[in-house]
Homo-oligomer: A and B are copies of this chain.
Amino acid sequence: MADGSRPTLTTVAEHARVSRQTVSNVLNSPEVVRPDTRERVLRAIAELDYRPNVVARQLRTRRSSVLGLRMPPASDGISGQVLDRFLHALTDEAQRAGLRVMLFTAEDDDAEIREYQNLRATTGIDGFVLANTHAGDPRTRWLADHGVPFVTFGRPWDTRRDDGGTTADHHPWVDIDGRAGTRAATQHLLDAGHRRVAFLGWPEGSGVGDDRFAGWHAALAGAGLADDVVVHRTADSVAQGVAAATRVLARDDVTALVCVSDSIALGALAAVREHAAQRPGRRAVAVTGFDDTPVARAVDLTSVAQPVGDVAARAVELLRSQIEGRDDVALDRQVLIEPHLVVRATSRAVR
């Protein structure tokens, strides 16, 4: 501090009248150092405000304690915010575990794979977090094939492999149980007395969307209402939500809408308001969304909240066990986390 250059192991060693290695041992395996010596070294460390140079350490140990994350392309949708909160939680959890998060960008999956190679070769990044896997993702396969530690936020929806292998199928992942989420939302509406609960979803084929659909269906089936269901599928946008809801509301018996996303729910809300204006005195149609984005909070929309903090914590845990090479049998390598419903005005009454 005083002379401008930072103290090193040797400085501390001289100060405590021991060797470099002993200081290093105090930090890395304190149990091999006699208590009184340890005490003396720790005092010297404190006095000099010594902090180990992680760069030098990394050069020797080939471990960086850095995680890589591709900055997901700025999605136009509202739900992009989930990734945002996840990133925050991930940084937090990683830091708590002594890891850092480093960002990078890439145009497409192939460019991302090239960046993996690059980051591994040049900076020695320890592992990666993938936040937006999709069906037939080449990235998980590449990482698995090259023995690079990684975790995905999101299940591998497509488990087929060209060569019939199964490596990618069993990679570690953490995900939100969307099915449980929509199920809870639907059950909440059924409990409130709604009998005709429609679903506004995405086109079939997206793993996430189908999963959420399944939850809604399961809840209705549980109540014996699955014989004649109302479903409308559409792209994820507010405008599409308005259109979809308007069509569904034409059926006058529908009293509640479970939406696959907050975007669609936001549109549905507008349609419901319109619909209600034409039928004064009638109880307004209830609406629920998914993701509990800030927008949902803003417009008082009931929504299914994704506990991204939990996801991040488990992701870091899974990565650590891979990086440290301990094949933790006790640790589930696939983690499904239950979301919870945040009940707000729109599922009670809409103005």
Q: Which of A90-125 contact B (CB under 8 A)?
A: 91-92, 95, 100-105, 118, 121-124
- A92-B105, A102-B102, A103-B103 as given contacts; A77 in contact with B294, CB under 8 Å: yes
A51 to B123, CA, bound (A): 10
Indicate if the CB atoms of A239 and B56 lie closer than 8 Å: no
Which of A20-28, A37-45, A79-87, A203-211 lies on the face that meets chain B?
A: A79-87
Whether B59 contacts A55 by the Cβ 8 Å rule is yes
Contacts of A266 in B (CB 8 A): 298-299
Contact (Cβ within 8 A) A103 B100: yes
Task: Collect the chain B residues with CB atoms within 8 Å of residue A75's CB.
Answer: 294
Out of B51, B66, B78, B84, which one reaches A121, CB within 8 Å? B51
Q: Does A53 contact B (CB under 8 A)?
A: yes
B residues less than 8 Å from A91 (CB atoms): 71, 103-105
Chain B residues closer than 8 Å to A299, beta-carbon distance: 238, 266
Query: In the complex, which of the residues A52, A71, A294 has the most CB atoms of chain B within 10 Å of its own CB atom?
Result: A294
Q: Is A297 an interface residue (CB 8 A)?
A: yes
Closest B-chain residue to A53, C-beta based?
A: B122
Interface residues of A in 216-245 (CB under 8 A from B): 237-239
CB of A76 within 8 A of CB of B238, answer no
Check B6–A121 contact: CB distance below 8 A. yes
* Interfacial chain B residues near A263, Cβ < 8 Å: 298
Residues of B contacting A161 in the complex (Cβ-Cβ under 8 angstroms): none
A88 within 8 A of B: yes
Q: Does A58 sit within 8 A of B, measured CB to CB? A: yes
Specify which chain B residues have a CB less than 8 angstroms from the CB of A103 in the assembled complex. 87, 91, 100-103
**Per-residue interface assignment for chain A, residues 144 to 156, with 1 indicating a CB less than 8 Å from any chain B CB and 0 otherwise:** 0000000000000
Taking a contact as CB atoms closer than 8 A, the residue among B55, B73, B81, B122 that contacts A123 in the complex is B55
Given the complex, which residues of B lie within 8 Å of A80, measured CB to CB?
A: 81, 84, 294
Report B-chain residues with C-beta under 8 Å of the C-beta of A159: none
Task: Select A71's contact among B55, B88, B123, beta carbons within 8 Å.
Answer: B88
- Per the bound structure, the CA–CA distance linking A277 and B124 in Å amounts to 62
Question: Chain B: which residue is nearest A6 at the CB level?
Answer: B121
In the complex formed, the residue of B with least CB distance to A308 is B74
Interface residues of A in 243-269 (CB under 8 A from B): 263, 266
Contact A295 B78 (CB under 8 A): yes
**Is A18 positioned at the interface, with any CB of B under 8 Å from its CB?**
no
* Contact of A298 with B237 in the complex, beta carbons under 8 Å: yes
Smallest CB separation, A152 vs chain B (Å): 19
Q: List 24 A-B contacts (CB under 8 A).
A: A6-B121, A52-B122, A53-B59, A54-B123, A55-B123, A56-B59, A59-B59, A66-B102, A71-B92, A74-B85, A74-B88, A76-B294, A78-B294, A81-B84, A84-B84, A87-B103, A92-B105, A95-B105, A100-B102, A101-B102, A102-B103, A103-B103, A238-B299, A266-B299
18 new A-B contacts at CB < 8 Å, known A51-B121, A102-B102: A51-B118, A52-B122, A53-B121, A53-B122, A54-B122, A55-B55, A55-B58, A55-B123, A74-B88, A78-B294, A78-B295, A84-B84, A91-B104, A100-B102, A100-B103, A101-B103, A102-B103, A263-B298
